[in-house]
Amino acid sequence: MSRDVQKLIERAHTQAHHQHLHGAIETLRQALTLDADNAHAHALLAVCLHDQKRLHAADYEARAALALDPELTFAHYAMATVSIAQRRFKVAEDHLNAALGLEPNNPSLLRSLAHLYGLWGRPGKVLPLLEKAREMDPDDAATWAALAEHHREQRDFKQAEALARRALEIDPENSDALLTMGFLLLARNETQEAREHALIVLRNNSLHEGAIALLAAVKARQSPLLGLWWRFNSFFGGGSMTRRVVLLIGTYLTYRALVIALDDSGYEQAGGWLQLAWLGFCIYTWVGPAVFQKQLRKELEPAALSAKY
């Protein structure tokens, strides 16, 4: 690899790290003009295109990288990243395992595999991988942040906060840790603090979807229309699938038991009102997510932050 190409790839990595994706793609095109068979450039281009949600082009570039160098760890990582977005989880798993075969102690690859298993509905495999990643590099803020988010999803909020704070001690601007902390603060109704965490992330990347989602969640939490739905979703949405199923079935059975008890006690009218209330509750929880998604899409529209931020 020529020195000019190497410098261009390094510049593209820096641009991609700061989410200047258009610039990174243009830089990589320059590199590939000089060296069309550079597997690393193709792999990085695949990741950048993935981040722009141009999955067809990203898949093409990832395949090109693997064809040029099947032993390149980053090429397998790029293919796994694209495959996860395409929900081809088995393909992604194969490529991440291939990458780990080449670099078994790479914390980033371990985190990616943990993320895959979380999406794939295999939560039991997530924590051991993240713990192993932390053993490999105890000072990697990204791993502490991933651990924090995992515990938040499992509703272990105290542990999640401790881990997020540790990540922020290592890297005060770690986006994942800031967002996990933001959602934890929001769950405690500390909406202003949660909003501030989202804005810190947006100062570094004004298009960060996680930060925009947190801002939308803050608005939903404060909204008279969506506030009750947000509390309901926060309580029922976390934890394992078993927990969610048990809670939902338990809620329905409690409702039915109350209706039967009211009818048996001669309070048929009260039972009727309860059934109407239940119907209204079901409609509300069905409409709530659609309204929230509409609000989120509105927040995701191109916009510029105020100069005071």
Query: What phi, psi does 305 have (nearest 5°)?
Result: -70, 150
Predicted local distance difference test score (pLDDT) of residue 221: 72
* Torsion of the alpha carbons at 189, 159, 142 and 123, rounded to the nearest 10: -100
Any alpha helices (H) in 86-174, and if so which ranges? 89-102, 107-119, 126-136, 141-153, 157-170
pTM as predicted: 0.71
- Within 10 A of 239 (CB to CB), how many other CB atoms are there? 16
Q: Please state the separation of Cα 246 from the chain's center in Å.
A: 25
Identify the weakest region by mean pLDDT among 15-24, 39-48, 149-158, 267-276.
267-276
pLDDT tens readout for residues 223-241:
655 555 455 555 555 555 5
Look up residue 111 and give its two tokens: 């985190």
Nearby residues of 280 by Cβ (< 8 Å), 6 or more positions away: none
Distance CA 263, CA 279 (A): 18
H helix or E strand, kind and range, residue 15: helix 3-17
- Start-to-end Cα distance in the chain: 42
Alpha carbon distance 155, 150 (integer Å):
9
Q: Evaluate if residue 308 carries a pLDDT over 50.
A: no
Long-range contacts of 291-295 (CB under 8 A, 24+ apart): 291/225, 291/226, 291/229, 292/216, 292/217, 292/220, 292/226, 292/229, 292/230, 295/216, 295/219, 295/220, 295/226
Contacts of residue 178, defined as CB under 8 A and 6 or more positions apart, other chains included, come to: 168, 197, 198, 200, 201, 211
| Residue range 240-265: mean pLDDT, rounded | 67
| pLDDT band with cut points at 50, 70 and 90 for residue 11 | very high
Name the residue type at position 306.
S
Specify the DSSP class assigned to residue 121.
Answer: T
What distance in Å separates the CA atoms of residue 12 and residue 44, rounded to the nearest whole number?
Answer: 8
Lowest mean pLDDT among 29-33, 160-164, 211-215, 245-249: 245-249
In what helix (H) or strand (E) does residue 140 lie, and over which residues does it extend? none
Count of residues making up the chain: 309
CA 12 – CA 15 distance, rounded (Å): 5
Provide the pLDDT confidence category of residue 32 given band limits of 50, 70 and 90.
very high
Q: What is the mean pLDDT of the chain?
A: 84
- Tell me the pLDDT tens digit for each residue of 125-145: 999 999 999 999 999 999 999
- What three-state secondary structure class fits 302? coil
302 vs 69: CA distance, rounded Å: 38
Rama region for 239: left / alpha / beta (φ>0; ψ in -120 to 50; rest): left
